[in-house]
Chains A and B, each alone.
Chain A
Amino acid sequence: MLRRTAGWFDTRLGTSAFVQKALTKVFPDHWSFMIGEIALYSFVVLLLTGTFLTFFFDASTSISVYRGAYEPLNGVEVSDAYRSVLELSFDVRAGLVMRQIHHWAALVFIGSIVAHLCRVFFTGAFRRPREINWIIGVLLLILAIFNGFSGYSLPDDLLSGTGLRIAHSIALSVPLVGTWMAFLLFGGEFPADEIIGRLFVVHIMIVPVLIIGLLTIHLAVVWRQKHTQFREPGRTEGNVVGSRLWPSYTAKSIGLFFAVSAVLSVMGGLAQINPVWLYGPFEPQQVTSPAQPDWYLGWVEGALRLVPPFDVRLFGYEIPNPFFPAVLLPGVTFTLLLAWPFLEQRFAHDKEAHHLLDRPRDHPVRTALGATTLTFYTVMFVAASNDLIAKWLGASIFGITLIFRILILLMPPLVGWGTYRLMKALAASGAGHLSEMPLAALTNRGADGHGAHVDGGKGHGAAGPPGDGHAGNRLGAPAEEARTPGG
Protein backbone atom coordinates (compact mmCIF):
# COMPACT_ATOMS: atom_id res chain seq x y z
CA MET A 1 0.00 0.00 0.00
CA LEU A 2 2.73 2.37 1.06
CA ARG A 3 4.86 1.28 -1.87
CA ARG A 4 2.08 2.03 -4.30
CA THR A 5 1.44 5.50 -2.90
CA ALA A 6 5.11 6.32 -2.90
CA GLY A 7 5.38 5.13 -6.47
CA TRP A 8 2.34 7.14 -7.55
CA PHE A 9 3.90 10.40 -6.32
CA ASP A 10 7.36 9.50 -7.47
CA THR A 11 6.42 8.94 -11.10
CA ARG A 12 4.57 12.26 -11.16
CA LEU A 13 6.90 14.46 -9.10
CA GLY A 14 10.17 12.58 -8.71
CA THR A 15 9.93 12.86 -4.95
CA SER A 16 11.65 9.68 -3.86
CA ALA A 17 15.20 10.99 -3.90
CA PHE A 18 14.25 13.91 -1.71
CA VAL A 19 12.21 11.73 0.63
CA GLN A 20 15.04 9.26 1.02
CA LYS A 21 17.46 12.03 1.96
CA ALA A 22 14.95 13.69 4.22
CA LEU A 23 14.04 10.62 6.24
CA THR A 24 17.66 9.97 7.10
CA LYS A 25 18.59 13.61 7.72
CA VAL A 26 20.46 14.07 10.98
CA PHE A 27 19.47 16.56 13.64
CA PRO A 28 21.52 17.20 16.78
CA ASP A 29 19.67 16.28 19.95
CA HIS A 30 20.68 18.98 22.40
CA TRP A 31 17.68 20.16 24.39
CA SER A 32 18.33 23.86 23.79
CA PHE A 33 17.90 23.32 20.06
CA MET A 34 14.22 22.59 20.65
CA ILE A 35 13.39 26.03 22.08
CA GLY A 36 12.56 27.33 18.63
CA GLU A 37 10.13 24.44 18.28
CA ILE A 38 8.33 25.60 21.42
CA ALA A 39 7.67 28.83 19.57
CA LEU A 40 6.69 26.98 16.41
CA TYR A 41 4.18 24.76 18.19
CA SER A 42 2.76 27.66 20.19
CA PHE A 43 2.14 29.29 16.83
CA VAL A 44 0.31 26.19 15.61
CA VAL A 45 -1.89 26.34 18.72
CA LEU A 46 -2.52 30.00 17.97
CA LEU A 47 -3.62 29.15 14.43
CA LEU A 48 -5.92 26.34 15.55
CA THR A 49 -7.59 28.19 18.43
CA GLY A 50 -7.57 31.43 16.47
CA THR A 51 -9.51 29.89 13.61
CA PHE A 52 -12.19 28.82 16.08
CA LEU A 53 -12.36 32.34 17.50
CA THR A 54 -12.80 33.96 14.09
CA PHE A 55 -16.10 32.13 13.69
CA PHE A 56 -17.49 34.01 16.65
CA PHE A 57 -15.80 37.39 16.78
CA ASP A 58 -17.60 40.38 15.28
CA ALA A 59 -15.03 43.01 14.32
CA SER A 60 -17.33 46.01 14.38
CA THR A 61 -17.80 48.96 16.71
CA SER A 62 -21.51 49.33 15.92
CA ILE A 63 -23.62 49.34 19.05
CA SER A 64 -25.78 46.34 19.93
CA VAL A 65 -27.34 44.91 23.07
CA TYR A 66 -25.72 42.03 24.92
CA ARG A 67 -28.18 39.43 26.11
CA GLY A 68 -26.57 36.56 27.89
CA ALA A 69 -25.46 34.95 31.07
CA TYR A 70 -23.23 37.73 32.41
CA GLU A 71 -25.69 39.62 34.58
CA PRO A 72 -24.15 43.08 35.02
CA LEU A 73 -24.02 43.56 31.25
CA ASN A 74 -27.26 41.80 30.37
CA GLY A 75 -29.39 44.24 28.40
CA VAL A 76 -26.58 46.79 28.11
CA GLU A 77 -25.57 48.45 24.85
CA VAL A 78 -21.98 47.70 23.92
CA SER A 79 -19.99 47.47 20.70
CA ASP A 80 -20.42 44.37 18.52
CA ALA A 81 -16.80 43.44 19.15
CA TYR A 82 -17.19 43.50 22.92
CA ARG A 83 -20.55 41.77 22.76
CA SER A 84 -19.20 38.93 20.64
CA VAL A 85 -16.35 38.33 23.08
CA LEU A 86 -18.80 38.33 26.02
CA GLU A 87 -20.95 35.81 24.23
CA LEU A 88 -17.94 33.68 23.41
CA SER A 89 -16.87 33.74 27.06
CA PHE A 90 -20.26 33.07 28.67
CA ASP A 91 -22.68 31.70 26.15
CA VAL A 92 -20.65 29.53 23.77
CA ARG A 93 -19.60 26.08 24.93
CA ALA A 94 -15.81 25.80 25.19
CA GLY A 95 -15.59 29.43 24.02
CA LEU A 96 -13.85 30.73 27.10
CA VAL A 97 -11.27 27.94 27.21
CA MET A 98 -10.46 28.51 23.54
CA ARG A 99 -10.03 32.25 24.14
CA GLN A 100 -7.82 31.67 27.13
CA ILE A 101 -5.66 29.00 25.44
CA HIS A 102 -5.24 31.43 22.55
CA HIS A 103 -4.10 34.27 24.78
CA TRP A 104 -1.76 32.11 26.90
CA ALA A 105 -0.31 30.71 23.67
CA ALA A 106 0.44 34.25 22.51
CA LEU A 107 2.35 35.02 25.70
CA VAL A 108 4.31 31.75 25.47
CA PHE A 109 4.90 32.19 21.70
CA ILE A 110 6.70 35.48 22.15
CA GLY A 111 8.42 34.33 25.35
CA SER A 112 9.87 31.28 23.65
CA ILE A 113 10.99 33.39 20.67
CA VAL A 114 12.95 35.53 23.13
CA ALA A 115 14.38 32.45 24.85
CA HIS A 116 15.34 31.04 21.44
CA LEU A 117 16.93 34.37 20.47
CA CYS A 118 19.00 34.31 23.64
CA ARG A 119 20.17 30.75 22.99
CA VAL A 120 21.17 31.65 19.44
CA PHE A 121 22.91 34.82 20.60
CA PHE A 122 24.89 33.40 23.49
CA THR A 123 26.10 30.41 21.46
CA GLY A 124 27.04 32.50 18.42
CA ALA A 125 24.72 30.56 16.14
CA PHE A 126 23.96 33.72 14.16
CA ARG A 127 27.46 33.80 12.68
CA ARG A 128 28.12 33.08 9.04
CA PRO A 129 26.39 31.42 7.21
CA ARG A 130 23.33 31.96 9.44
CA GLU A 131 22.97 35.75 9.27
CA ILE A 132 19.93 35.40 7.02
CA ASN A 133 18.09 33.30 9.57
CA TRP A 134 18.98 35.72 12.35
CA ILE A 135 17.42 38.57 10.40
CA ILE A 136 14.33 36.51 9.64
CA GLY A 137 14.10 35.60 13.31
CA VAL A 138 14.17 39.22 14.49
CA LEU A 139 11.52 40.09 11.90
CA LEU A 140 9.40 37.22 13.23
CA LEU A 141 9.77 38.65 16.73
CA ILE A 142 8.57 42.07 15.59
CA LEU A 143 5.60 40.52 13.76
CA ALA A 144 4.69 38.38 16.76
CA ILE A 145 4.71 41.37 19.10
CA PHE A 146 2.57 43.31 16.67
CA ASN A 147 0.08 40.48 16.35
CA GLY A 148 -0.13 40.11 20.10
CA PHE A 149 -0.97 43.78 20.53
CA SER A 150 -3.51 43.78 17.72
CA GLY A 151 -5.06 40.60 19.09
CA TYR A 152 -5.74 41.72 22.61
CA SER A 153 -7.00 45.08 21.37
CA LEU A 154 -9.79 43.39 19.40
CA PRO A 155 -12.31 42.88 22.25
CA ASP A 156 -12.70 46.69 22.61
CA ASP A 157 -12.53 46.54 26.42
CA LEU A 158 -11.45 49.39 28.69
CA LEU A 159 -7.92 48.13 29.32
CA SER A 160 -6.94 47.46 25.69
CA GLY A 161 -8.78 50.58 24.52
CA THR A 162 -6.54 52.65 26.76
CA GLY A 163 -3.61 50.98 25.05
CA LEU A 164 -4.99 51.94 21.64
CA ARG A 165 -5.26 55.57 22.79
CA ILE A 166 -1.58 55.48 23.71
CA ALA A 167 -0.77 53.89 20.33
CA HIS A 168 -2.59 56.72 18.55
CA SER A 169 -0.61 59.28 20.55
CA ILE A 170 2.66 57.50 19.77
CA ALA A 171 1.82 57.65 16.05
CA LEU A 172 1.06 61.36 16.46
CA SER A 173 4.47 61.93 18.00
CA VAL A 174 6.42 60.96 14.86
CA PRO A 175 8.02 64.10 13.39
CA LEU A 176 6.68 65.53 10.12
CA VAL A 177 4.26 62.75 9.26
CA GLY A 178 2.90 61.81 12.69
CA THR A 179 -0.57 63.35 12.38
CA TRP A 180 -1.08 61.82 8.94
CA MET A 181 0.19 58.45 10.14
CA ALA A 182 -2.21 58.41 13.07
CA PHE A 183 -5.19 59.60 11.06
CA LEU A 184 -4.63 57.20 8.16
CA LEU A 185 -3.86 54.18 10.35
CA PHE A 186 -6.80 54.71 12.68
CA GLY A 187 -9.19 56.42 10.31
CA GLY A 188 -9.24 59.78 12.07
CA GLU A 189 -9.07 61.40 15.48
CA PHE A 190 -9.21 58.99 18.41
CA PRO A 191 -11.35 56.92 18.94
CA ALA A 192 -11.88 56.24 15.29
CA ASP A 193 -14.47 53.58 14.59
CA GLU A 194 -12.49 51.81 11.91
CA ILE A 195 -9.59 50.66 14.03
CA ILE A 196 -11.10 47.43 15.36
CA GLY A 197 -12.03 46.20 11.90
CA ARG A 198 -8.60 47.06 10.55
CA LEU A 199 -6.77 45.41 13.41
CA PHE A 200 -8.87 42.32 12.77
CA VAL A 201 -7.70 42.06 9.15
CA VAL A 202 -4.11 42.66 10.17
CA HIS A 203 -4.37 40.15 13.01
CA ILE A 204 -5.99 37.21 11.21
CA MET A 205 -4.62 37.62 7.70
CA ILE A 206 -1.78 40.03 6.97
CA VAL A 207 0.57 39.26 9.84
CA PRO A 208 -0.13 35.50 10.04
CA VAL A 209 0.59 35.19 6.30
CA LEU A 210 3.85 37.06 6.78
CA ILE A 211 4.75 34.92 9.79
CA ILE A 212 3.96 31.67 7.97
CA GLY A 213 6.00 32.80 4.98
CA LEU A 214 9.01 33.87 7.01
CA LEU A 215 8.78 30.80 9.24
CA THR A 216 8.84 28.54 6.20
CA ILE A 217 11.96 30.24 4.88
CA HIS A 218 13.45 30.12 8.39
CA LEU A 219 12.98 26.36 8.62
CA ALA A 220 14.05 25.78 5.00
CA VAL A 221 17.31 27.62 5.68
CA VAL A 222 17.95 25.48 8.77
CA TRP A 223 17.21 22.40 6.67
CA ARG A 224 19.57 23.51 3.92
CA GLN A 225 22.43 24.68 6.13
CA LYS A 226 21.99 21.90 8.69
CA HIS A 227 21.79 22.69 12.38
CA THR A 228 24.74 23.83 14.46
CA GLN A 229 26.04 21.71 17.33
CA PHE A 230 28.13 22.03 20.47
CA ARG A 231 31.75 20.88 20.59
CA GLU A 232 31.72 17.32 21.77
CA PRO A 233 33.65 14.17 20.92
CA GLY A 234 32.93 13.28 17.32
CA ARG A 235 31.51 16.69 16.37
CA THR A 236 33.46 18.73 13.82
CA GLU A 237 32.89 21.77 11.66
CA GLY A 238 32.32 19.35 8.80
CA ASN A 239 29.60 17.07 10.14
CA VAL A 240 26.31 16.87 12.04
CA VAL A 241 25.86 14.23 14.72
CA GLY A 242 22.49 13.34 16.16
CA SER A 243 19.25 11.48 15.55
CA ARG A 244 17.66 10.74 12.25
CA LEU A 245 14.54 12.61 11.28
CA TRP A 246 12.61 9.36 10.87
CA PRO A 247 11.47 7.87 13.15
CA SER A 248 13.00 9.23 16.34
CA TYR A 249 13.34 12.95 15.76
CA THR A 250 9.84 13.14 14.29
CA ALA A 251 8.42 11.27 17.26
CA LYS A 252 10.15 13.56 19.73
CA SER A 253 9.15 16.68 17.87
CA ILE A 254 5.51 15.70 17.57
CA GLY A 255 5.67 14.69 21.20
CA LEU A 256 6.89 18.20 21.96
CA PHE A 257 3.98 19.66 20.03
CA PHE A 258 1.55 17.67 22.17
CA ALA A 259 3.42 18.66 25.32
CA VAL A 260 3.37 22.38 24.51
CA SER A 261 -0.30 22.26 23.62
CA ALA A 262 -0.97 20.29 26.80
CA VAL A 263 0.67 22.97 28.93
CA LEU A 264 -1.26 25.68 27.10
CA SER A 265 -4.54 23.77 27.48
CA VAL A 266 -4.10 23.36 31.21
CA MET A 267 -3.22 27.04 31.55
CA GLY A 268 -6.22 27.95 29.39
CA GLY A 269 -8.54 26.06 31.68
CA LEU A 270 -7.09 26.74 35.09
CA ALA A 271 -5.67 30.27 34.90
CA GLN A 272 -7.94 33.14 34.01
CA ILE A 273 -6.49 35.60 31.50
CA ASN A 274 -7.88 38.87 30.11
CA PRO A 275 -11.30 38.79 31.87
CA VAL A 276 -12.77 41.53 29.70
CA TRP A 277 -16.15 41.35 31.45
CA LEU A 278 -14.48 42.66 34.61
CA TYR A 279 -12.71 45.46 32.74
CA GLY A 280 -15.92 46.70 31.17
CA PRO A 281 -16.48 48.02 27.64
CA PHE A 282 -14.24 50.75 26.29
CA GLU A 283 -15.46 54.30 26.86
CA PRO A 284 -13.04 57.08 25.87
CA GLN A 285 -13.59 59.08 29.06
CA GLN A 286 -12.99 56.11 31.39
CA VAL A 287 -9.73 54.55 32.54
CA THR A 288 -8.59 51.90 34.98
CA SER A 289 -5.63 51.70 37.28
CA PRO A 290 -3.32 49.80 37.14
CA ALA A 291 -2.96 49.86 33.37
CA GLN A 292 -0.29 47.82 31.67
CA PRO A 293 0.04 46.21 28.24
CA ASP A 294 0.84 42.50 27.80
CA TRP A 295 4.34 41.60 28.95
CA TYR A 296 6.11 41.82 25.58
CA LEU A 297 5.34 45.56 25.41
CA GLY A 298 6.29 46.08 29.05
CA TRP A 299 9.69 47.42 28.08
CA VAL A 300 8.13 50.21 25.98
CA GLU A 301 5.66 51.00 28.78
CA GLY A 302 8.46 51.09 31.33
CA ALA A 303 10.41 53.45 29.09
CA LEU A 304 7.36 55.73 28.81
CA ARG A 305 7.20 55.90 32.60
CA LEU A 306 10.92 56.33 33.25
CA VAL A 307 11.85 58.89 30.60
CA PRO A 308 11.91 62.33 32.28
CA PRO A 309 9.58 65.08 31.10
CA PHE A 310 11.09 66.81 28.08
CA ASP A 311 10.01 67.78 24.59
CA VAL A 312 12.24 68.87 21.75
CA ARG A 313 11.26 72.16 20.17
CA LEU A 314 12.92 73.40 16.97
CA PHE A 315 11.93 76.32 14.74
CA GLY A 316 8.35 76.30 15.95
CA TYR A 317 7.92 72.56 15.55
CA GLU A 318 7.84 69.97 18.30
CA ILE A 319 8.93 66.40 18.89
CA PRO A 320 6.81 65.40 21.90
CA ASN A 321 8.01 63.27 24.76
CA PRO A 322 6.45 59.88 23.82
CA PHE A 323 8.48 59.77 20.59
CA PHE A 324 11.71 59.01 22.42
CA PRO A 325 10.73 55.98 24.52
CA ALA A 326 8.09 54.60 22.15
CA VAL A 327 9.44 55.21 18.63
CA LEU A 328 13.14 56.00 18.85
CA LEU A 329 14.00 53.38 21.44
CA PRO A 330 12.26 50.45 19.68
CA GLY A 331 13.69 51.65 16.37
CA VAL A 332 17.22 51.65 17.72
CA THR A 333 16.62 48.35 19.53
CA PHE A 334 15.51 46.40 16.49
CA THR A 335 18.03 48.05 14.18
CA LEU A 336 20.88 47.02 16.45
CA LEU A 337 19.41 43.54 16.82
CA LEU A 338 19.18 43.11 13.07
CA ALA A 339 22.68 44.45 12.52
CA TRP A 340 24.33 42.42 15.27
CA PRO A 341 25.86 39.60 13.17
CA PHE A 342 27.53 42.17 10.94
CA LEU A 343 28.65 44.33 13.85
CA GLU A 344 30.26 41.33 15.50
CA GLN A 345 31.94 40.29 12.26
CA ARG A 346 33.47 43.75 12.04
CA PHE A 347 34.54 44.22 15.66
CA ALA A 348 35.60 40.65 16.40
CA HIS A 349 37.36 40.40 13.03
CA ASP A 350 35.74 37.08 12.35
CA LYS A 351 34.16 36.47 8.93
CA GLU A 352 34.63 32.71 8.99
CA ALA A 353 31.79 30.23 8.71
CA HIS A 354 30.98 28.47 11.98
CA HIS A 355 28.99 25.34 12.54
CA LEU A 356 30.30 24.54 16.00
CA LEU A 357 28.81 26.61 18.76
CA ASP A 358 30.51 28.77 21.34
CA ARG A 359 29.87 28.32 24.98
CA PRO A 360 29.18 31.69 26.62
CA ARG A 361 32.61 31.62 28.26
CA ASP A 362 34.31 31.33 24.87
CA HIS A 363 33.32 34.83 23.88
CA PRO A 364 33.14 36.87 27.07
CA VAL A 365 32.64 40.23 25.35
CA ARG A 366 29.60 39.03 23.47
CA THR A 367 28.22 37.34 26.57
CA ALA A 368 28.77 40.44 28.68
CA LEU A 369 27.15 42.72 26.08
CA GLY A 370 24.20 40.36 25.88
CA ALA A 371 23.84 40.32 29.65
CA THR A 372 24.05 44.12 29.78
CA THR A 373 21.33 44.43 27.13
CA LEU A 374 19.06 41.88 28.80
CA THR A 375 19.44 43.69 32.12
CA PHE A 376 18.59 47.02 30.53
CA TYR A 377 15.38 45.77 28.98
CA THR A 378 14.43 43.74 32.04
CA VAL A 379 14.70 46.74 34.36
CA MET A 380 12.56 48.76 31.96
CA PHE A 381 10.08 45.90 31.79
CA VAL A 382 9.79 45.64 35.58
CA ALA A 383 9.48 49.44 35.81
CA ALA A 384 6.20 49.19 33.90
CA SER A 385 4.60 47.84 37.06
CA ASN A 386 5.90 50.66 39.26
CA ASP A 387 2.37 51.48 40.46
CA LEU A 388 1.71 47.88 41.50
CA ILE A 389 5.06 47.67 43.24
CA ALA A 390 4.27 50.92 45.07
CA LYS A 391 0.94 49.49 46.20
CA TRP A 392 2.39 46.14 47.29
CA LEU A 393 5.33 47.66 49.17
CA GLY A 394 3.41 50.61 50.65
CA ALA A 395 5.90 53.03 49.12
CA SER A 396 5.47 56.27 47.19
CA ILE A 397 5.17 55.79 43.43
CA PHE A 398 7.81 58.41 42.91
CA GLY A 399 10.22 56.72 45.25
CA ILE A 400 9.83 53.53 43.26
CA THR A 401 10.21 55.36 39.94
CA LEU A 402 13.32 57.12 41.18
CA ILE A 403 14.81 53.80 42.23
CA PHE A 404 14.15 52.39 38.77
CA ARG A 405 15.77 55.39 37.11
CA ILE A 406 18.88 54.78 39.19
CA LEU A 407 18.78 51.02 38.56
CA ILE A 408 18.51 51.37 34.81
CA LEU A 409 21.66 53.46 34.72
CA LEU A 410 23.64 51.40 37.22
CA MET A 411 22.61 47.79 36.80
CA PRO A 412 23.35 47.13 33.11
CA PRO A 413 27.02 48.16 33.26
CA LEU A 414 27.47 46.40 36.61
CA VAL A 415 25.95 43.19 35.33
CA GLY A 416 27.99 43.46 32.14
CA TRP A 417 31.23 43.92 33.96
CA GLY A 418 30.41 41.12 36.39
CA THR A 419 29.46 38.78 33.56
CA TYR A 420 32.69 39.50 31.76
CA ARG A 421 34.74 38.73 34.84
CA LEU A 422 32.72 35.59 35.51
CA MET A 423 33.17 34.28 31.97
CA LYS A 424 36.90 34.89 32.05
CA ALA A 425 37.22 33.15 35.39
CA LEU A 426 35.10 30.26 34.20
CA ALA A 427 37.17 29.80 31.08
CA ALA A 428 40.44 29.99 33.01
CA SER A 429 39.32 27.54 35.66
CA GLY A 430 38.63 24.81 33.15
CA ALA A 431 35.56 23.71 35.03
CA GLY A 432 33.05 21.75 33.01
CA HIS A 433 30.04 23.57 34.36
CA LEU A 434 29.45 26.81 36.24
CA SER A 435 28.44 24.85 39.31
CA GLU A 436 31.78 23.06 39.30
CA MET A 437 33.82 26.24 39.31
CA PRO A 438 35.48 26.94 42.67
CA LEU A 439 34.72 30.39 44.07
CA ALA A 440 38.43 31.12 44.32
CA ALA A 441 38.57 31.11 40.52
CA LEU A 442 36.68 34.40 40.52
CA THR A 443 39.77 36.21 41.68
CA ASN A 444 41.91 34.82 38.87
CA ARG A 445 41.97 36.63 35.59
CA GLY A 446 42.40 34.26 32.62
CA ALA A 447 46.02 34.76 31.64
CA ASP A 448 45.68 34.56 27.88
CA GLY A 449 41.98 35.10 27.58
CA HIS A 450 41.33 31.66 26.07
CA GLY A 451 39.76 28.66 27.65
CA ALA A 452 42.19 26.17 29.06
CA HIS A 453 42.76 23.03 27.02
CA VAL A 454 41.31 20.15 28.92
CA ASP A 455 41.87 16.46 28.46
CA GLY A 456 39.56 15.58 25.61
CA GLY A 457 36.99 12.87 25.58
CA LYS A 458 36.00 13.66 29.10
CA GLY A 459 32.31 14.13 29.68
CA HIS A 460 30.91 17.64 29.45
CA GLY A 461 32.12 19.25 26.25
CA ALA A 462 35.47 20.59 27.27
CA ALA A 463 36.13 23.56 25.06
CA GLY A 464 38.84 23.94 22.52
CA PRO A 465 39.90 27.46 21.64
CA PRO A 466 37.09 29.45 20.04
CA GLY A 467 37.10 30.21 16.37
CA ASP A 468 38.06 26.69 15.46
CA GLY A 469 36.86 26.90 11.92
CA HIS A 470 38.48 23.84 10.45
CA ALA A 471 37.41 20.28 10.17
CA GLY A 472 39.18 17.80 12.34
CA ASN A 473 38.12 16.77 15.78
CA ARG A 474 40.64 17.83 18.39
CA LEU A 475 38.66 16.44 21.22
CA GLY A 476 39.59 12.83 21.36
CA ALA A 477 37.88 9.63 20.46
CA PRO A 478 35.19 9.66 17.78
CA ALA A 479 31.61 8.96 18.80
CA GLU A 480 31.15 5.36 19.88
CA GLU A 481 28.18 4.49 17.72
CA ALA A 482 28.92 6.52 14.64
CA ARG A 483 26.66 5.35 11.88
CA THR A 484 26.81 6.58 8.32
CA PRO A 485 23.76 7.82 6.41
CA GLY A 486 21.89 5.14 4.58
CA GLY A 487 23.00 2.56 7.16
Chain B
Amino acid sequence: MSLENKHDGDEKQLRKLLQDAIPPVGGSSSSHNLWPRMLRRIEEPSSRLSSRVPWFDWALLGITAAALLFFPALIPALLYHL
Protein backbone atom coordinates (compact mmCIF):
# COMPACT_ATOMS: atom_id res chain seq x y z
CA MET B 1 0.00 0.00 0.00
CA SER B 2 1.46 3.39 -0.98
CA LEU B 3 1.98 6.14 1.59
CA GLU B 4 -0.75 8.27 -0.02
CA ASN B 5 -3.30 5.44 0.07
CA LYS B 6 -2.41 4.75 3.69
CA HIS B 7 -2.93 8.42 4.54
CA ASP B 8 -6.30 8.45 2.71
CA GLY B 9 -7.35 5.34 4.62
CA ASP B 10 -6.27 6.89 7.93
CA GLU B 11 -8.13 10.09 7.10
CA LYS B 12 -11.31 8.19 6.26
CA GLN B 13 -11.13 6.18 9.49
CA LEU B 14 -10.38 9.27 11.54
CA ARG B 15 -13.24 11.15 9.87
CA LYS B 16 -15.63 8.39 10.94
CA LEU B 17 -14.33 8.38 14.53
CA LEU B 18 -14.49 12.18 14.77
CA GLN B 19 -18.00 12.42 13.34
CA ASP B 20 -19.14 9.76 15.76
CA ALA B 21 -17.70 11.63 18.77
CA ILE B 22 -18.40 15.17 17.55
CA PRO B 23 -21.50 15.15 15.35
CA PRO B 24 -21.49 17.67 12.49
CA VAL B 25 -23.45 20.85 13.13
CA GLY B 26 -24.35 21.06 9.44
CA GLY B 27 -26.37 23.95 8.09
CA SER B 28 -27.97 25.04 11.34
CA SER B 29 -29.29 28.56 11.53
CA SER B 30 -29.91 30.89 14.44
CA SER B 31 -33.46 30.93 15.76
CA HIS B 32 -33.00 34.56 16.79
CA ASN B 33 -33.41 37.64 14.64
CA LEU B 34 -29.97 39.21 14.92
CA TRP B 35 -30.84 42.46 13.12
CA PRO B 36 -32.03 44.32 16.28
CA ARG B 37 -28.69 43.48 17.94
CA MET B 38 -26.88 44.69 14.84
CA LEU B 39 -28.83 47.95 14.91
CA ARG B 40 -27.96 48.49 18.58
CA ARG B 41 -24.32 47.91 17.73
CA ILE B 42 -24.47 50.48 14.93
CA GLU B 43 -26.15 53.03 17.16
CA GLU B 44 -23.64 52.68 20.02
CA PRO B 45 -20.26 52.71 18.34
CA SER B 46 -18.60 55.09 20.78
CA SER B 47 -19.45 53.02 23.87
CA ARG B 48 -17.50 50.12 22.38
CA LEU B 49 -14.32 52.16 22.02
CA SER B 50 -13.36 51.90 25.68
CA SER B 51 -13.63 48.10 25.62
CA ARG B 52 -11.35 47.84 22.56
CA VAL B 53 -8.48 49.76 24.19
CA PRO B 54 -6.46 47.42 26.41
CA TRP B 55 -6.40 48.27 30.11
CA PHE B 56 -2.62 48.74 30.18
CA ASP B 57 -2.91 51.52 27.59
CA TRP B 58 -5.28 53.36 29.92
CA ALA B 59 -2.89 52.68 32.85
CA LEU B 60 0.06 54.03 30.86
CA LEU B 61 -1.92 57.13 29.95
CA GLY B 62 -2.87 57.64 33.61
CA ILE B 63 0.71 57.22 34.82
CA THR B 64 1.98 59.68 32.18
CA ALA B 65 -0.69 62.23 33.08
CA ALA B 66 0.09 61.89 36.80
CA ALA B 67 3.84 62.21 36.18
CA LEU B 68 3.32 65.38 34.14
CA LEU B 69 1.00 66.80 36.79
CA PHE B 70 3.44 66.22 39.67
CA PHE B 71 6.62 66.94 37.71
CA PRO B 72 5.79 69.70 35.18
CA ALA B 73 9.49 70.06 34.44
CA LEU B 74 9.19 66.81 32.49
CA ILE B 75 6.93 68.42 29.89
CA PRO B 76 9.73 70.10 27.85
CA ALA B 77 11.78 66.90 27.99
CA LEU B 78 8.78 64.89 26.80
CA LEU B 79 8.06 67.36 24.00
CA TYR B 80 11.71 67.24 22.95
CA HIS B 81 11.56 63.47 22.59
CA LEU B 82 8.24 63.41 20.71
Instruction: Report if A and B associate in a common complex.
Output: no
Residues of A within 8 A of B (CB): none
Residues of B within 8 A of A (CB): none
